[in-house]
């Protein structure tokens, strides 16, 4: 049997693949910094019970939600990795009150990074897959206005993706070159390419939504659910966005986190969840909608803005929109 090192020699690492796609040096350095941070976060997730970092930290984030210990640790890890990256100019996350200017564009900080450092963190104590979601924009503002560079439509993203901390550590990255998937090789200690040019199946009879809130859905969404119940659809819902979207990307179907009567603006965050996941899905040939408009066309007004999210196979998203927003189809 060959030595592990020999097996790994022909693998394409993240940095090698980025270089091969002609990704500019500054952007590549930002993506590699995020990947480095995610390796550290993944290690902490796997050792969470051993290191006693499972459970609440005792505080709340800007949304009034109870912070998990690993939420705070993950945010600190990403922030430090980006502080050490000369091309990183601005960092914003759902754990921070507002954007943090690391360095202005005049000092080389040409990119703004937004992140959900640990999506699904409340599921860690039951060993459900969790993840990190990230978005990269160009810092297009004068130095005095650098913090406002994050307030751009998702269509302006130059890269976005997520890392799943599950049975293996998987990185999905969307750039202008398409959507690629990497897995952390424990031998190399690096992410290696396992699938290039991912495309979402055009249609698949699978829907992912928390139907426990049925009585809070609007009539259009109830009509959609009546349609799928009668059309032989299968339901798949994990309750960890990064895991549900990853399955949708690879297997097809539609992921829905809608507006409700109690949350008319939706609950997911446009900048940290809707935009990056929408960018991944669209780059893979799927569709992503906020209901009334494509999610990547929404002009954000504040960094913690919420949004409904409907994304996945193009045909399946159209089935939802045709019933919830018939004027848009």
What's the pLDDT tens digit per position in 242-300? 999 999 999 999 999 999 999 999 999 999 999 999 999 999 999 999 998 999 999 99
- Structure tokens given for 17: 């693949």
Domain with CATH 3.40.190.80 in the chain: 206-328
Give the span between the Cα atoms of 324 and 65, in whole angstroms. 29
**Interval 7-27: pLDDT, tens:** 456 799 999 999 998 899 999
Give the list of residues 6+ apart from residue 93 with CB closer than 8 angstroms, or none: 75, 78, 79, 114, 115, 116, 117, 272
Count of beta carbons in the 10 Å neighbourhood of residue 167: 7
How many residues can be counted in the chain? Answer: 329
Give the list of residues 6+ apart from residue 226 with CB closer than 8 angstroms, or none: none
30-44, 67-81, 209-223, 284-298: range with lowest mean pLDDT = 67-81
Place of tokens 């910094």: 33
pLDDT of 34 above 70: yes
Give the span between the Cα atoms of 89 and 100, in whole angstroms. 9
Please report which confidence band the pLDDT of residue 47 belongs to, taking 50, 70 and 90 as the band edges: confident
What architecture does CATH give domain 206-328?
3-Layer(aba) Sandwich (3.40)
The reported pLDDT for the residue numbered 329 is 60
- Structure tokens given for 286: 């799927």
* Beta-strand pair 111-119/130-138: antiparallel
Which residue has better confidence, 53 or 160? Answer: 160
Please provide the CATH number assigned to the domain covering 4-195.
Answer: 3.30.540.10
Give the span between the Cα atoms of 71 and 64, in whole angstroms. 14
Global confidence as pTM: 0.93
* Beta-strand pair 206-208/254-257: parallel
Of 81, 85, 83, 59, which Cα lies nearest the Cα of 71?
A: 59
pLDDT of 95 above 50: yes
Half-sphere exposure of 43 (CA within 13 A, CB side): 9
DSSP 189: T
pLDDT of 166 above 60: yes
Give the span between the Cα atoms of 195 and 182, in whole angstroms. 7
How deeply is 43 buried, as exposed, middle or buried, from its count of CB atoms within 10 A (0-12, 13-18, 19+)?
A: middle
* Beta-strand pair 111-119/100-101: unpaired
Domain with CATH 3.30.540.10 in the chain: 4-195
Give the gyration radius of the chain's Cα atoms.
Answer: 19
**Interval 191-242: pLDDT, tens:** 999 999 999 999 999 999 999 999 999 999 999 999 999 999 999 999 999 9
Local structure of 124: helix, strand or coil: helix
């Amino acid at each position: 049997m060959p030595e592990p090192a020999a097996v790994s020699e022909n693998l394409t690492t993240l940095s090698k693949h980025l270089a091969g796609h002609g990704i500019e040096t500054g952007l590549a350095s930002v993506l590699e910094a995020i990947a480095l941070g995610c390796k550290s976060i993944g290690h902490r997730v796997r050792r969470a019970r051993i290191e006693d970092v499972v459970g609440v930290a005792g505080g709340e984030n800007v949304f009034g939600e109870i912070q998990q210990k690993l939420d705070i640790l993950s945010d600190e890890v990403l922030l430090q990795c980006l502080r050490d990256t000369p091309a990183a100019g601005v960092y914003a996350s759902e754990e921070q009150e507002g954007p943090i200017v690391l360095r202005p564009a005049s000092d080389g900080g040409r990119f703004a990074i937004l992140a959900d450092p640990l999506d699904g963190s409340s599921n860690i104590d039951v060993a459900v897959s969790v993840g990190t979601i990230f978005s990269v924009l160009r810092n297009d503002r004068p130095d005095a206005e650098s913090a406002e560079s994050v307030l751009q439509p998702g269509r302006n993203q130059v890269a976005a993706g997520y890392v799943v901390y599950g049975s293996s550590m998987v990185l999905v990255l969307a750039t202008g070159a398409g959507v690629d998937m990497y897995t952390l090789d424990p031998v190399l200690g690096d992410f290696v390419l396992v699938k290039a040019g991912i495309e979402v199946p055009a249609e698949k009879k699978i829907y992912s939504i928390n139907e426990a809130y049925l009585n809070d859905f609007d009539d259009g969404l109830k009509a959609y659910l009546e349609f799928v119940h009668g059309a032989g659809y299968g339901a798949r819902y994990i309750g960890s966005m990064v895991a549900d979207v990853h399955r949708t990307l690879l297997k097809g179907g539609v992921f829905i986190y809608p507006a409700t009567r109690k949350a008319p603006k939706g609950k997911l965050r446009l900048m940290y969840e809707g935009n990056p996941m929408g960018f991944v899905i669209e780059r893979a040939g799927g569709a992503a909608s906020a209901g009334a408009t494509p999610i990547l066309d929404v002009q954000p007004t504040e960094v913690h803005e919420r949004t409904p999210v409907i994304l996945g196979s193009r045909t399946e998203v159209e089935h939802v929109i045709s019933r919830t927003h018939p004027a848009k189809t």
